Amino acid sequence: MRGYLDIVKHILEKGVAKKDRTGVGNKAVFGVKFEHDMSEGFPLLTTKKVPFRLVASELEFFIKGKTDKAWLQERKNHIWDEWCSPTKVPYGHSEEAQKKMMEEKDLGPVYGFQWRFFGADYQDQHTSYTGKGFDQLKEIIRLLKEEPTSRRMIMSAWNPLDLKKMALPPCHWSIQVNVIGNKLNLLWNQRSVDTMLGLPFNIASYALLLHLLAKESGFEEGKLVGFLGDTHIYDNHVEGVREQISREPKKLPTIKTEFTSIFDWKYTDSTVEDYESHPHIKFPIAI
């Protein structure tokens, strides 16, 4: 995926030094476009290993509208471990605050809750929200099947009324699905982009969602597009960045899915085939 590497190089060359919430510091640019044609392969980064299992299980977590990070941990997915709802444990950098954040399981009304229950009154991770709020994902699927020429297939995770309850305000905050020439295209908007850790996951996650929506609706897979706002590289990632951009990209893998319905789909139903990558590069998380 040279498109991704071009973004990385652009930040290194043109990025401006900024302070940030984490205290780590970064170089950033604003307003970047990522684009990939799904006919060229599944966009799982090859210049470092990206664990598809973690991408897919997080997406299942979102599709199911779950907010309990214990569900992810039971599936050996620890990418949300460091965060929790600030209504349970206030965000902080101290050792004590971070220990409490690790122990608390409630993430608050994050992505999947907004996708499936937008507008419902959030209580905690154990409450059932069935039949409450508005199911944006179900509405997109209805439109794909009944009105595929619609330009209103939009899903938002940004709910200002719930932001203070969320472990993190949504970084990738909305998507639009569109059908042109029998191909299903998906565009996502992202306000804040951790280019080295987050963006490879975001690309693969929305590619997988595009893949599932195409299977659900019977359309071919088209373009994946990302409009990226504050796109940054943390200062403590630069050494790994230079290693990564020195590597030659490999051929993209393909994806295979055992499928009945997007609502019955489990992360183990999808596998990537012929995935070859360069070794993992460890980038520290900025909390």
CB 4 within 8 A of CB 224: no
Q: Is the dihedral of CA 201, 203, 204, 206 positive or negative?
A: positive
Angular region, 76: left φ>0, alpha ψ -120 to 50, beta rest? left
Catalytic residue among 50, 171, 197, 286: 171
| Contact assessment for residue 241 and residue 233, using Cβ atoms and an 8 Å cutoff | yes
Q: 171 an active-site residue?
A: yes
Q: How far apart are CA 4 and CA 101, in angstroms?
A: 32
Q: Can you tell me the distance from the alpha carbon of 282 to that of 32, in angstroms, rounded to the nearest whole number?
A: 24
Instruction: Give the β-pairing of 26-37 and 220-234.
Output: antiparallel
Catalytic residues: 171
